[in-house]
Structure 1
């Protein structure tokens, strides 16, 4: 019997964690409304504190222009953080209902879509990357090679050019040629209208979200997870709602092709899998990390008794398909076969912050040495990054070899390689962690691991200010953010973990397993899909 109010957060769904009990279906109206209010506040606050335009035609000289400066901008920033707190609070409450077996995947999907809706027309949040997308698309549209020149070389569309972040004004594009073709199409329609350009870009990137929503339920069946958990992790997470959609970021479109590609491999449609993931690579090159693992999946589905022959056959066909899609996709996107975009991948290394583990380690060593003798920072960071790249290569090769039996094990190792790439290869930007998390969400998860994800996701959104500038060296800001992120993680497992509301209103902790599920594992068994 459905109710019109939220289920009790964390209310046990069964008397014993291994006793399967069917609980009444309930719909979390208030929680969805809370998150929607939060994302609406994000939209309103972003008008003054987000990635606003240099010359804003909406608020620039109107009666509300005060929200872009001084105390007005401080108020707008406070509104943004209040909205973020409500979104995270709603997400955590939704997670407690899910773990208690009170809701299924449908309410979670509806919640995520409601939270995303206000952000479709919002100024960019916690990033300005979308302005770079439009600038590079404008270059391609007007005959400039975006892999040889930065947007500053463009003499037309001044609104597009001036809103690109100064770091990227003279930097070649680091994105795949197919995505630049998409950006070119956007600029050809919106021209110098940056507001329309941002909105149209978001709408096109939602194609990736639709692809994920189609593929994830099917991936869950192969990888052994629970669909509500997957939807909560991969779709309703602030990383997706705020970073990928609110940003927006082209990683969302790449993830659409990656998830369907992985699904195709598990369903023995291997040629299609290689084609789709290669297309994903032509959007965001990181998708290439997945391709070697898909070769093992293919090889283990071939019937010949010789494992070597099966591998060589799968590898040869995969390489041929990759080459055809790579050449055709690059040629169609750029008008000729231009490999300049491969060298353009070095551009993001200009970003240095301690979120990237080797960069942070190099900076830490430099700080300690600098206490004794003044030395420049760059040698320490360069050496640390070089060591990390060697480590990443060894780790990736080891994961690839361990995936030689194919099946779910190969996909799990692929996830580890994607996460390692996001952490060890410079730079590490907050939304890069979604590369691995989206596929990982379809595996079984333990409660404590879900809590860790809450802490990581909350922190990674706040690692940058709403304007898109990094906040990682403002320790007066970072330390409270870490504390609040840990509190959010604890709140998933037990409402009001510090007893701030009072014992008389405290609710029961979440049961050890949701709705009688068997113990869920964070690592899959080695089985052939």
Structure 2
């Protein structure tokens, strides 16, 4: 498998086949009834076999990606979008990878179709096949997503209540998101004087985007595609359209609206803080009006704003606020301060969000058009690491913006390393289901694979700057 195209396709096929064993699926689905993989998924040794193949397939994809990156940085022109399509195709019909969120999307769409308000009740009010694979943690919680994916899910649920078909319908939204990213990133790169081929390799062909986006069918990818497109539209002078698209991105997930930072910078590239603030207010108002209008037109409303704390139920180690809060809570509990220990995590999370909002405000008023991409990337990264919850795929939020922000060798290496680690280690998210020995065994396998791939990073060079061209 000397060709990275073939290597990536083989890796993706292996991942898709392994998902038939490792992924959580409804007990009534066709996946659970398959003769060989269905038997393997019933036992711990069988799941370990599937998990081993899963890590191997992800390793092949990551290896192919690094190989392509070296050739792109060396100046070779490769069919990157065709590679993206070929590496993604085997995952289109596979069960969701690494996460059960797609089953929650399906159930929330069914809630809309059945006349329930998904911002008031959770999937637990439903019964039957539609909730068989929903994570018990989210069974009684309202939906923290915007009105757009819920309305879309409701429309599809009017046609069928098959959870697998509904999951595939939401995967189509992820495919649309990647198409939008593939359209926007080269245009942003050209405007920011970064080689479009390099940016396309770093973002669009990234196995983290392919596996967490299409494989896991997260709606974050649609949010990201809309936000990237909004920035690209603003650079062509259509900032009004861009602000509307930013509002549509926020109607998927709220952080997508932060792209108004870049839109405001485009509207007033040489202005002082007063005019920049005015531009920010105008772009923000258009985006908010778009968001509210979508909620009203779809009939879903804006009740999701009250459910934004739902993801915070997961104490993710990727959030700095969570780590500090849990450490403070543990120390206070050890000292016997039980009341303070119970409040410590919430207080630290609040401080983290205030710090993130303060940084966003500073970036909004101080970032020039030349650093607009970096400002949006840093703002989204701040929301991830300082917010109440952070999952590994949340780091995709800042990827397109940092990749076109004239990254040098250090930033390129960091982005590549994070992408490799979150690709290879993704199966540890949910596949092991609490089994201690398999967790240790698979962690060792993941570390060995990741270290082998990370050893190739020293050959990566900075992104080559290119002349400014029209987006």
Correspondent of 1:450 among 398, 412, 415 = 412
Task: Name the counterpart of 1:385.
Answer: 349
Evaluate the alpha carbon distance shift between residue 400 and residue 475 of structure 1 in structure 2; reply closer, same or farther with a 3 A threshold: farther
Correspondent of 2:92 among 120, 129, 148 = 120
Where do 1:74-473 residues align within 5 Å?
A: 74-101=48-75, 103-104=76-77, 106-155=78-127, 158-189=128-159, 191-300=160-269, 307=272, 310-311=275-276, 314-315=279-280, 317-334=282-299, 338-368=301-331, 375=338, 378-403=342-367, 406-461=368-423, 462-465=425-428, 467=430
In the alignment, is the contact (CA less than 8 A) between 2:19 and 2:54 conserved in 1?
yes
Secondary structure (helix, strand or coil) at the match of 2:410 reads: helix
**Residue 402 (structure 1) shift:** 1.5
1:476-512 CA-partner distances (Å, limit 9, x unpaired): 7557645643542331324xxxxxxxxxxxxxxx6x5
For structure 1, the 5+ residue unaligned runs are 7-29, 495-509
2: CA distance, partners of 1:131 / 1:176: 17
2: CA distance, partners of 1:456 / 1:316: 34
Q: Identify which range, 447-456 or 360-369, moves more after superposition.
A: 360-369
Task: Name the counterpart of 1:67.
Answer: 40
Q: Identify which range, 440-449 or 163-172, moves more after superposition.
A: 440-449
For structure 2, the 5+ residue unaligned runs are none
Q: Which has the higher helix share?
A: 2
In the alignment, is the contact (CA less than 8 A) between 1:265 and 1:294 conserved in 2?
yes
2: CA distance, partners of 1:235 / 1:430: 17
Evaluate the alpha carbon distance shift between residue 152 and residue 226 of structure 1 in structure 2; reply closer, same or farther with a 3 A threshold: same
Say which one has the larger Rg.
1
Secondary structure (helix, strand or coil) at the match of 1:433 reads: helix
2: CA distance, partners of 1:209 / 1:411: 18
1: CA distance, partners of 2:18 / 2:429: 9
In the alignment, is the contact (CA less than 8 A) between 2:262 and 2:369 conserved in 1?
no
CA RMSD of aligned residues (A): 3.0
Mapped pair 1:31 → 2:9: no
Evaluate the alpha carbon distance shift between residue 142 and residue 443 of structure 1 in structure 2; reply closer, same or farther with a 3 A threshold: same
Taking structure 2 as the reference length, what is the TM-score of the superposition? 0.90
Taking structure 1 as the reference length, what is the TM-score of the superposition? 0.80
2: CA distance, partners of 1:310 / 1:365: 42
Secondary structure (helix, strand or coil) at the match of 2:68 reads: helix
In the alignment, is the contact (CA less than 8 A) between 1:46 and 1:466 conserved in 2?
no
In the alignment, is the contact (CA less than 8 A) between 2:187 and 2:196 conserved in 1?
no
Task: Name the counterpart of 1:504.
Answer: none
In the alignment, is the contact (CA less than 8 A) between 2:320 and 2:385 conserved in 1?
yes
1: CA distance, partners of 2:74 / 2:173: 36
In the alignment, is the contact (CA less than 8 A) between 1:463 and 1:470 conserved in 2?
no
**Residue 428 (structure 1) shift:** 0.4
1:14-49 CA-partner distances (Å, limit 9, x unpaired): xxxxxxxxxxxxxxxx21111111111111111011
1: CA distance, partners of 2:34 / 2:408: 52
In the alignment, is the contact (CA less than 8 A) between 2:129 and 2:162 conserved in 1?
yes
Task: Name the counterpart of 1:51.
Answer: 24
Secondary structure (helix, strand or coil) at the match of 2:428 reads: coil
Secondary structure (helix, strand or coil) at the match of 2:194 reads: coil
2: CA distance, partners of 1:285 / 1:202: 20
2: CA distance, partners of 1:355 / 1:464: 16
